[in-house]
Structure 1
């Protein structure tokens, strides 16, 4: 029982140094957790995407739409159960900085997204209103939208001011569901294009496909693309997850840089911790020699150093891990909804704990070996 007491007393002998070391570990573990959470938030859309849904787009680029007439032909492909339309609107709300995702969709669009929960009465109201819109809970909370509110959007792709009436608020099935988007009637957009001549009517950005078996996603994708091969607008069909990852891939270098920085922080703190333990070991050379003279073996001395290092890292790591969730919540609010989903995952927490333990073990290796090898005569020579 005296070994843990000795370890605790050694750790508290230089209270200021220990406190500063613990503070450094707290900051490092906290920074690592936040940086990894940023990376997770970047992939949140792709992680929440379903392999049971396919996306059909123009094979050249998303910039080029597909003819509305493709819908019936896609519906006839073996393995396809549902086909919904979705066109990117790209309007701005009051100020260009207030930008969020808006999609003109067909009425069956929400049937393909069971993770979006909408009360039946709100859906009925939405269907009855030509200018009706559905907003996600995260978006409604961010801007204070309520049912019955009018949302004026200034079009960029489609010029002019477009007024939409909130008829429903979509809740997420769980915290991982992104609900920071607005949906409105594709027919309203298409009819307005015809009347205002602000674009070419009967064009669709992408088709969302429901399939009978997720295991047949690749085969169904090939069948759809084969239907339109050598046409004026060839298609590219892929799973929704692959479609989302295509957007994430555009930021791969940024994500890689964030990952590198998160590990660099840990390496720097490891060096600081190793230096602190080396200082402690040098200061206690005489004590280690005395303990050896009293009959304590090299293993006992190594455990003293190793235990002190692990204790400091466990305390610092635990505090850092406890502070990460509230810090993530504060960060999410501070950035103004840039990340719809910004929660600390269990994997991140496990990695934080692992990093703290690795730092503690690595920092203690050299000082522990030195303490075990100290010679009694050389150690006691410093007395007086």
Structure 2
């Protein structure tokens, strides 16, 4: 306890310098945590995938659809236990700023494949019975203040016209990784409306979602599916849901690498600032350390003093930065809306923040501690005023 009080008193001997150093640490650790959380949020869709779901799309591109009659053939593939489909809608709610994912799905089979969407029985039934109905995730409903029974108008960009849906249910995620920022409505409504407006067949889907019996069978089932439609007018590419999501993440890989690099550069910069602070502290107390050695204290005690003081400053600043990260992340998540379906500071990020604080404290004190442990007593005492 005495040693801790001594370290605390030494740390705040020059209050302004110490406080400015701590402010720098708070900003650095907070920025590091926020940037790491942004990276985690970018990969949230990947982390929330299921190992028993595959995605089958057109082998050329996602923009090319697949025939609806593929569904029955997919069900007959060995290892497949469930099939559903969806279409990206791409509508605009009021203004272009209100972006969120919207999918036309086959309701019964789709919800059966996504048990992580927890929906009340009565709301699920109402959605299944209402061709004009839709369901949304809790985060999306909270963002726009929607409640069951509300009318939600969307202006089509891919599919022209104004589409108005009745909100029949709001699902909650089974865990924190579940996406709650989507809107789902009946694929049949989309197909029938397009037939009327476009005067041509609309029996095409964007992608098929396939459930398999065993996660280990994903490669062989994927191969069976693609072989089934080889040399057809619409060949397929089947991959795990995780690989499918990673395909979207890879489009922004350069940005993620840059964000990741910046997060560590921030730590290196504050490490240099902290090292400068500790070097100034050591030079100012040169005579004090020489006196301690003259009184019989070992070089190790001097090392402990410097490392201890550096760690006290690092952990106070780092701890404050960690705590500040939580409200800043919450405010950031609110400001970006549904851009990041899942945005929360993870336990891993908080552990990295604490580890970064520890590393900063240790590295900043290493050089001055080594120098002061080797100080010559006579030369050190010459600095006494």
- Same fold by TM-score, threshold 0.5 exceeded? yes
Per-residue deviation, 1:199: 6.6
Distance 2:144 2:344 in 1: 21
Q: Which residue of 1 aligns with 2:376?
A: 375
Which runs of structure 1 show a deviation greater than 4 angstroms over 4 or more consecutive aligned residues? Answer: none
Q: How much has 1:163 moved relative to structure 2?
A: 1.3
Q: Tell me the residue number matched to 2:13.
A: 13
Aligned 1:157-172 pairs, distance under 5 A: 157-172=158-173
Q: Residues 13 and 198 (structure 1 numbering): CA distance in 2 closer, same or farther, change over 3 Å?
A: farther
- Corresponding residue for residue 36 of structure 1: 36
Q: What CA deviation, in whole Å up to 9, does each residue of 1:175-196 have, x standing for no partner?
A: 2211111111111111111111
What does residue range 134-283 of structure 1 map to in structure 2 within 5 Å?
134-197=135-198, 200-283=201-284
> How far off is 1:338 after superposition?
2.2
Structure 1 segment 68-107 matched on structure 2, within 5 A: 68-107=68-107
Q: C-alpha distance in 2, partners of 1:347/1:341?
A: 15
What SS does the aligned partner of 1:379 have? helix
| Whole-Å separation in 1 of the counterparts to 2:7 and 2:94 | 62
Give the Cα–Cα distance (whole angstroms) in 1 for the partners of residues 4 and 142 of structure 2. 51
Contact 2:53 2:210 in 1 (8 A): yes
Aligned residue in 2 for 1:56? 56
Q: CA RMSD in A?
A: 1.2
How much does 1:220 deviate? 0.6
Query: Once the 2 structures are TM-superposed, how far is the Cα of residue 336 of structure 1 from its aligned partner?
Result: 2.9
**C-alpha separation between the residues in 2 aligned to 1:105 and 1:198?**
22
Deviation, structure 1 residue 8: 2.0
What's 1:314 paired with? 315
Gapped runs of 5+ residues in structure 2?
A: none
Q: Which residue of 2 aligns with 1:344?
A: 345
The more displaced of 92-101 and 361-370 is: 92-101
| Higher mean displacement: 195-204 or 263-272 | 195-204
Q: Distance in 1 between matches of 2:169 and 2:242?
A: 26
1:214-267 Cα deviation digits (max 9, x unpaired): 111111111000000111110000111110110000000111111111101100
| CA distance in structure 1 between the aligned counterparts of 2:257 and 2:201, rounded to whole angstroms | 40
Please give the alpha-carbon distance, in whole angstroms, between the structure 1 residues aligned to 2:317 and 2:212.
50
Alpha-carbon contact 2:99-2:339 (below 8 Å) kept:
no
Give distance in 2, aligned partners of 1:9 and 1:100: 53
Q: CA deviation at 1:200?
A: 4.6
Shift of the 168–199 alpha-carbon distance from structure 1 to 2, 3 Å rule, reads farther
CA-CA distance at 1:337 after TM superposition:
3.5
Per the alignment, residue 109 of structure 1 pairs with: 110
State the shift of 1:356 in Å: 0.4
Q: Provide, for residues 41-96 of structure 1, a one-character-per-residue CA deviation record: whole Å limited to 9, x for no partner.
A: 00001110111101000001000000111111111000111110101111111112
Count of residues paired in the alignment: 384
Supply the distance in 2 between the matched residues of 1:2 and 1:333 (Cα, whole angstroms): 46
Q: Mean alpha-carbon deviation: is it higher for 167-176 or for 364-373?
A: 167-176
Verify the 8 A CA contact 1:158 1:199 in the aligned structure 2: no
Distance 1:289 1:86, change over 3 A: same
Aligned to 1:325: 326
Q: Is the 8 A contact 1:159 1:198 kept in 2?
A: no
- The answer (yes or no) to whether the contact 1:105–1:184 under 8 Å persists in 2 is yes
CA distance change for structure 1 residues 151 and 210 in 2, over 3 Å: closer, same or farther?
same
- 1:325 Cα deviation from its structure 2 partner: 1.3
1:198: Cα distance to partner?
A: 7.0
Structure 1: distance between partners of 2:127 and 2:67: 26
1:128-150 deviation per Cα after TM superposition (whole angstroms, max 9, x unaligned): 21111111111111111111111
1:286 corresponds to? 287
Residues 199, 348 of structure 1: alpha-carbon distance in 2 compared, 3 angstrom cutoff: farther
Contact 1:158–1:198 (Cα < 8 Å) also in 2: no
1:158 alignment partner, SS class: coil
